[in-house]
Amino acid sequence: MPSTSEMTASEVTIPGAAVGPGVAEALVFSLFLPDARMHPYPYYHQLRSEDPLHWNSLGFWLLTRYADASVVLPDRRFRMVDPRDQQNLSGMPINQEALDTLQERLLRMMLFKNPPDHTRLRGLVSKAFPPRMIENLRLHIQEIVDELLAAVHEAGNVDLMADLAYPLPVIVIADLLGVPAEDRFKFRNWSRDLAPAIDPIVVPDAVERANRAMQDLEDYFRTLIAKRRGDLRNDLLSALIAAEEQGDRLSEDEMLANAILLLAAGHETTMNLIGNGTLALLRHPDQLEKLQREPSLIQSAVEELLRYDSPVQMTGRKAGEDITIAGKTIRQGDFAIIIIGAANHDPEHFAEPDRLDITRSDNAHLTFGGGIHYCLGASLARVEGQIAINSLVQRFPNLKLHDDAPEWRETITLRGLKALRVTF
């Protein structure tokens, strides 16, 4: 049976995708259904074939070609998307007050800011998060991975998400932020409930859960910041407090929002990289065996895993002026969704894009975005993914899937597994 990422549009039944007018429109609606969450790539291929730069009745553009995505992502004429552009397609009544509150909280995060506020906030966070610090963490990350794998060595049958993919990045980002060790695992449910808040389609009950999670996270960090003000340390939270106190115009609301962003973004992408990447290797035994024989391939392997089943499937932008791309004009104020997962599987850019090849050399994937919004934690995610995946496959040469039908999370922007049971 081919993996979901290997399937072509002709190998699966795509709801509403019969030949004829309106195919692209039906495909867009299908992207938000459970089947597409399980195997989105056939949908992307067909949408790219039918209408690669697509305006739909929901009121936004969808970009599926690599050439278009790679132009839009770094183009400063495209502004970061506003959370208030989310749409409710459920047909269910939504608590507008809760939605407004959640969106206002999200708007304080650097992720949703544009210059000059984005420049100011990213500059402050970058000072506290230098690249050399990430490289210096390699030994510490290896120690954490070794401890986590040693703890399950005798089990024989484990959930890789619960036992490695989640705890590793949470421990690392919590340590960097200065979160006490005993509090590290308070964040799992909060982060899980917050993740759907960045999807382009809003679901009423998800809004309620995300709002509660944001409130709990704000309460937690407000208390921790108050304690840390009198006891500054060598951590990110202390660096943000110091920046605020030195007059760099970082408000407490911004500090709270961006501490939450760093915590959530600091583990979500890496967790999904480890889970999605391990699943891809296990479904491609030849590539797994190649990596086991040649562990030096781990850097190119992780880049390929990031491309092949991206932890981040899409991102949004809003046109700041009329912009023409591939003969179509995106009007000022139009909302555009760049489907990174589709761009990363574009046959016009990647040879045999549905084939997993850990030796792929020309691999300029778009998983971490581009331009001024390029992922601040990309280097950390890469290092954690390299160490975790290489350590796992070398330590357990008989690693196999326990169940080849794993359950995917409900989010569509962030792609990841609920669980991944493996045997040794």
Cα 157 versus chain centre, distance: 27
Report the pLDDT value the prediction gives residue 276, as an integer from 0 to 100: 98
| Whether the predicted pLDDT of 3 surpasses 70 | no
Per-residue pLDDT tens digits for 166-176: 999 999 999 99
Return the CATH number at 379.
Answer: 1.10.630.10
Percent of all residues in the chain with a pLDDT value above 90, rounded to a whole number: 59
Summarize the confidence of residues 296-325 as an average pLDDT.
96
* DSSP designation for 161: I
| Whether the predicted pLDDT of 72 surpasses 50 | yes
Q: Which two tokens stand for residue 39?
A: 């195997």
Beta bridge partners of 79: 318
Q: Do 403 and 140 contact (CB within 8 A), yes or no?
A: no
Q: Which pLDDT band holds residue 221 (cuts at 50, 70, 90)?
A: very high
Report the pLDDT value the prediction gives residue 390, as an integer from 0 to 100: 98
Give me the amino acid identity at 291. L
Decide if 16 is inside a domain: no
| Whether the predicted pLDDT of 7 surpasses 50 | no
Whether omega for the bond prior to residue 116 falls within 30 degrees of 0, making it cis, is yes
Report the pLDDT value the prediction gives residue 298, as an integer from 0 to 100: 98
Summarize the confidence of residues 98-111 as an average pLDDT.
89
Question: Which helix H or strand E contains 88, and what residues bound it?
Answer: strand 87-88
Distance CA 161, CA 408 (A): 12
Q: Is 382 helix (H, G, I), strand (E, B) or coil?
A: helix
List CB contacts of 271: < 8 A, sequence separation 6 or more.
161, 165, 166, 168, 169, 311, 416
Question: Which helix H or strand E contains 265, and what residues bound it?
Answer: helix 252-282
Q: Is the dihedral of CA 157, 159, 165, 170 positive or negative?
A: negative
| Whether the predicted pLDDT of 18 surpasses 80 | no
Decide if 3 is inside a domain: no
235 backbone dihedrals φ, ψ, rounded to 5°: -145, 170
Report the pLDDT value the prediction gives residue 313, as an integer from 0 to 100: 96
Report the pLDDT value the prediction gives residue 8, as an integer from 0 to 100: 36
| Whether the predicted pLDDT of 56 surpasses 50 | yes
Give me the amino acid identity at 277. G
Decide if 326 is inside a domain: yes
Report the pLDDT value the prediction gives residue 14, as an integer from 0 to 100: 39
Query: Which strand ranges, in their side-by-side order, compose the sheet holding 400-401?
Result: 157-159, 421-423, 400-401
Per-residue pLDDT tens digits for 25-49: 888 878 878 888 888 999 999 999 9
Name the least confident of 92-96, 342-346, 354-358.
92-96
Domain total of the chain: 1
Q: Which pLDDT band holds residue 281 (cuts at 50, 70, 90)?
A: very high
Report the pLDDT value the prediction gives residue 248, as an integer from 0 to 100: 64
Report the pLDDT value the prediction gives residue 91, as an integer from 0 to 100: 63
Report the pLDDT value the prediction gives residue 1, as an integer from 0 to 100: 31
Decide if 44 is inside a domain: no
| Whether the predicted pLDDT of 249 surpasses 80 | no
Decide if 194 is inside a domain: yes
Summarize the confidence of residues 330-357 as an average pLDDT.
96
Decide if 28 is inside a domain: no
Decide if 29 is inside a domain: no
Residues spanned by the domain of 226 = 52-423
* DSSP designation for 108: T
User: Average pLDDT, whole number, for the chain?
Assistant: 88
Decide if 45 is inside a domain: no
3-state secondary structure 193-262: HHHHHHCCEECHHHHHHHHHHHHHHHHHHHHHHHHHHCCCCCCHHHHHHHHHHCCCCCCHHHHHHHHHHH
Closest CA to 258 of 101, 102, 124, 78: 124
Question: Which helix H or strand E contains 302, and what residues bound it?
Answer: helix 298-308
34 or 76, greater pLDDT: 76
Among 13-22, 222-231, 390-399, the range of highest mean pLDDT: 390-399
Summarize the confidence of residues 330-338 as an average pLDDT.
94
| Whether the predicted pLDDT of 5 surpasses 80 | no
Among 10-19, 241-250, 289-298, the range of highest mean pLDDT: 289-298
